[in-house]
């Protein structure tokens, strides 16, 4: 060992291996005493009930369906992996994975969260072209009928799946009429989760 031969400081070796200096000193002491170093076997105790691949599958299972109860996980282990396990051992494994039991946030399976509403209008003036082409230095002239005709306003409520409400009126829409459209035509199509 380079530490015993004085080539490196204990602090440098500990930093390289990412261990404590006490560990290096213990290894050096064992090397001096026995002439070799044997690795510590780790903590004694029962071997793990679940193998690493099974633990990985449990993690994936709980990512896909986090609301499974312990008895459902035990049944899944017995059926899928023929791996019997006690509730206590399963709890220990889940705790080691950093998985805890906590209140879930419910999310609608068929969400339609976006509803777009806007007022748009059309009259005879809508079709007027405000731009045209002309030689440099002159302005294009377009003959226009200044009779606006009848104005129509449209109030659509559009979701990602299409229109859920549509209201067309002759004339312009004021704030009261817009509010009434929301209350009477749009809100009946909307329900808070978990409504139908």
Instruction: Compute the CA torsion angle 178, 179, 180, 186 (nearest 10 deg).
Output: 90
Task: Quickly tell me which residue has 């206590």 as its tokens.
Answer: 88
Which among 153, 155, 156, 150 has a CA at the least distance from the CA of 123? 150
Question: pLDDT 10s digit of each residue in the chain, 196 long?
Answer: 555 566 777 787 777 777 777 777 787 788 788 776 666 655 555 666 777 788 889 999 999 988 899 999 999 999 998 888 888 888 888 888 888 888 887 776 666 578 889 888 887 666 667 777 778 888 888 777 766 678 889 999 988 888 899 999 898 889 999 999 999 999 888 876 555 4
The per-residue DSSP string of 155-192 comes to EEEEETTEEEEEEEEES---HHHHHHHIIIIIGGG---
Query: Beta strands of 23-177 (E only): which ranges?
Result: 115-117, 120-122, 152-159, 162-170
Angle at 80 between CA 78 and CA 85, to 5 degrees: 30
**Residues across the chain:** 196
Structure token pair of residue 53: 């691949």
Instruction: Compute the CA torsion angle 45, 50, 51, 54 (nearest 10 deg).
Output: -160
Query: Beta strands of the chain (E only): which ranges?
Result: 115-117, 120-122, 152-159, 162-170
- Model's pTM, two decimal places? 0.38
In angstroms, what CA-CA distances link 85 with 54, 71, 173? Answer: 12, 10, 68
So what's the pLDDT on residue 181?
93
The CA distance from 173 to 8, in Å, is 85
């Amino acid at each position: 060992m380079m530490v015993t031969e004085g080539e490196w400081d204990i602090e440098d070796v500990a930093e390289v291996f990412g261990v404590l200096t006490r560990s290096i000193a213990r290894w050096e002491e064992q090397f001096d005493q026995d002439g070799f170093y044997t690795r510590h076997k780790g903590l004694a105790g029962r071997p793990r009930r679940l193998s690493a691949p099974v633990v990985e599958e449990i993690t994936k299972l709980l990512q896909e369906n986090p609301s499974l109860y312990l008895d459902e996980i035990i049944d899944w282990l017995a059926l899928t992996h023929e791996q019997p396990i006690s509730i206590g051992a399963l709890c220990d494994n889940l705790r080691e994975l950093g998985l805890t039991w906590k209140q879930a946030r419910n999310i609608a399976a068929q969400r339609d969260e976006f509803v777009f509403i806007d007022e748009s209008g059309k009259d005879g003036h809508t079709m007027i072209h405000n731009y045209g082409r002309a030689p440099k230095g002159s302005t294009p002239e377009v003959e226009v009928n200044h009779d606006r005709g009848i104005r129509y306003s449209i109030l659509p409520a559009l979701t990602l799946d299409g229109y859920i409400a549509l209201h067309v009126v002759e004339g312009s829409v004021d704030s009261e009429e817009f509010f009434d459209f929301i209350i009477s035509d749009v809100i009946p199509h909307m329900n808070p989760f978990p409504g139908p």
